[in-house]
Structure 1
Amino acid sequence: MILVTEFMDEDWIAWLRARGEVRVAPELADRPADLAVAARAARALIVRNRTQVRGDVLDAGIAVVGRLGVGLDNIDVAGCEARGIRVIPATGANTLAVAEYVVTTAAMLLRGAYAMRPEMEAGDWPRAEAGRGREVAGKTLGLVGYGAIAREVERLARPFGFEVVAHDPHCRDWGAMRTVTLDALLAGSDVVSVHVPLTDETRGLIGAEAIGSMKDDAVLVNAARGGVVDEAAVAGALRAGTLGGAALDCFEHEPLGPSHPFAGCPNLVLTPHIAGVTREANARVSEMIARAVAGALGW
């Protein structure tokens, strides 16, 4: 049996059901004890980023974990390896969706005119304020991390007119990309986009000091991992006018809960960890994982 604990394309769930038993139980994503019990009847799990594959779940006897996405910080990979559990991420299947999110959201925040609906519906005509927006052409986009998604962001951003620079101490294949130090990237970029995994090294990487070194009208985009960006520091800088805008798609704690710091922040886009989720990307990710998990189980 395959246990699916988060949303997956219905066509590919049906494809799996034509080959074997499948249980779809999204309620288990936030109930680790119940998940561990349910997993005893399963040979494989298919998850996204909320389901925690660790602890008692690893001792339930599963053979495969299919990840509908690429980040693995919700999965105890070392624990899986120790038990012979195969972990299969959907590498590359949602790259375009994330890159499109980054470029379009950055352009929207730079322009700044798309949040005028409340004033206009109230009868105002905020033309002067809306006309202070900025063009993309000639602006510098700084990529913190230079993996596959960052490279796709670069590919999409250059035709818009962005100048692109990157910083990644672990990258060895730069091609024609112009590399800079992190300090230089933060100080010189009009848009800073985060593209690193959450590790001990990157936790809190974009904190109050880093944000304080950015241009006062710069835009910050995080569609990588929560915990890399200090959310309270972002909120404080937006309110103080020392950050021009921000788009956050991932957070240290998801869902946000009532004590989040973002209420009333200007020029802020918040999305529920969906930068890599579109109809097309969901179908690609679901197909990749369905085929891979079925193959691993001999279906």
Structure 2
Amino acid sequence: MRVQFVDANDTLAAVTEELLRSCDLPVGINRNPSIKPEDLPGILDGAEIMIVDHTALPASVAESCKGLKHVVFLGTGARSYMNPEELSRYDIRVHTIKGYGDTAVAECTIALMWASAKSFSEMDRGMREGSWLRRDGVQLTGKTLGLIGFGGIAAEVARMALGCGMTVLAWNRTPKVHQGVQFVSLEKLLSDSHVVSLHLLLNDDTKNFLSRERIGVMRPGAILINTARGALVDEGAMIEALRLGRIAHAGLDVFTVEPLPAGHPLTGLPNVTLSAHSAFRTPEASENLIGAALDHCRRIIATGR
């Protein structure tokens, strides 16, 4: 079986090449991260296994990828780029990778929370434009953080927040127990939390999970953090709540459309801190991610599944 990494940026390409030095895997690397879906059949050139970072794979394109049997998606959010059920009709199986960057994403979540609480991005922009723009911050010690979804990333966020003296609430779709964390109803979490942070996987059930109605239940003046997936939130309702001040500030690493288009309403709001879907981008997380992807490839080559 032949493997093709179809959209490697410079960082991931370098990590892949370094890890391949210690193993014998037939992996080709396309060092152009800006390809289009229609480029995939030519780039794959009959490869049976595709490693993909962020390029969409519609079923109509997959049909033209002769020989493709496995897609190793670099992360957990494959459904943002492809439909695994549709691909299965072409005997293509999608593999995802969990846990590679829990600490990295958790650190970004905490960083966005603090930056949002202190209005750093607004003051930074003002000072670069020549204004001595002073803003009152929110003291987070003693405040309540609510985590919607509780997997590995949320557990790391909880550890860090508890160390900062915060109370941590959580809601999960299935029952869980975690030391120091109070699991409560979604309504109580939304109404009681000074900061709400999203940690759900995106699927048909969770799209627009933070709806207009649920935003309306949030504590007035709360901070919203999203390092999961943009489509988990009703974007229009979030923007309206930010304009009205019902949400005091949003720290966002993910968006409904990526890259975020120029002139998007979020870019004109002063009470938003933006990050370019980079929460997972650390050397440690990249090595974990590519190492796990290559492990998937070894298993597939050895077992055929």
Q: Please confirm whether the aligned pair reaches a TM-score higher than 0.5, indicating the same fold.
A: yes
Q: Percent identity?
A: 31
Deviates more, 1:151-160 or 1:31-40: 31-40
Kindly indicate whether residue 293 of structure 2 is the aligned counterpart of residue 293 of structure 1: no
Question: Shift in Å at residue 72 of structure 1?
Answer: 2.2
- AA of the residue aligned to 1:154: A
| Partner of residue 203, structure 1 | 207
The answer for the alignment partner of 1:175 in structure 2 is 178
Matches of 1:121 and 1:143 in 2, distance apart?
34
How far the C-alpha of 1:98 sits from its partner, in A, is 0.8
| Contact 1:239-1:266 within 8 A present in 2 as well | no
1:62 aligns with 2:68: yes
- Compared CA separation, residues 144 and 48, structure 1 to 2 (3 A): same
**Structure 1: stretches of 5+ with no match in the other structure:** none
Partners of 1:63 and 1:256 in 2: CA distance: 32
Q: Secondary structure at the match of 1:197?
A: coil
Q: 1:13 to 1:54 in 2, by over 3 A?
A: farther
- Does residue 233 (structure 1) correspond to residue 237 (structure 2)? The answer is yes
Instruction: Give the whole-Å Cα distance in 2 for the aligned partners of 1:27 and 1:48.
Output: 8
Task: Return closer, same or farther for 1:103/1:283 CA change in 2, 3 Å cut-off.
Answer: same
Q: Tell me if the contact between 1:143 and 1:165 (Cα under 8 Å) persists in the aligned partners.
A: yes
Whole-angstrom CA distance in 2 between matches of 1:125 and 1:272 = 27
Partner of 1:145: 149
Displacement after TM superposition at 1:86 (Å): 4.3
Letter in 2 for 1:136: L
| 1:280 aligned counterpart, secondary structure | helix
User: Within the alignment, does 1:108 sit opposite 2:118 as a pair?
Assistant: no
Could you say which residue in structure 2 is the equivalent of 1:96? Answer: 103
How many residue pairs were aligned?
Answer: 294
Shift of 1:159: 0.1
1:45 equivalent in structure 2: 50
Q: Secondary structure at the match of 2:284?
A: helix
Looking at structure 2, the residues matched to 223 and 135 of structure 1 have their Cα atoms a distance apart, in angstroms, of 22
> What residue number does 1:273 align with?
277
Equivalent in the alignment of 1:134: 138
Aligned in 2, Cα 1:122/1:243: closer, same or farther, shift over 3 Å? same
* In 1, Cα distance between equivalents of 2:128 and 2:39: 48
Dislocated runs of 4+, deviation >6 Å: none
Shift of 1:25: 4.9
Instruction: Report the RMSD for the aligned CA atoms in angstroms.
Output: 2.6
Q: Aligned in 2, Cα 1:122/1:3: closer, same or farther, shift over 3 Å?
A: closer
CA distance in structure 2 between the aligned counterparts of 1:25 and 1:125, rounded to whole angstroms: 44
- Structure 1 position 255 matched with structure 2 position 256: no
Cα distance, 1:208 vs structure 2: 2.5
Task: Give the distance between the partners of 1:249 and 1:121, measured in 2 at CA.
Answer: 22
In structure 2, distance between residues paired with 1:155 and 1:87 = 32
- Check whether the contact 2:5–2:27 (CA below 8 A) recurs between aligned residues: no
| 1:263 alignment partner, SS class | helix
Aligned partner of residue 262 in structure 1, secondary structure: helix
Q: Is the 8 A contact 1:216 1:243 kept in 2?
A: yes
The whole-number CA distance in structure 1 between the counterparts of 2:289 and 2:27 is 20
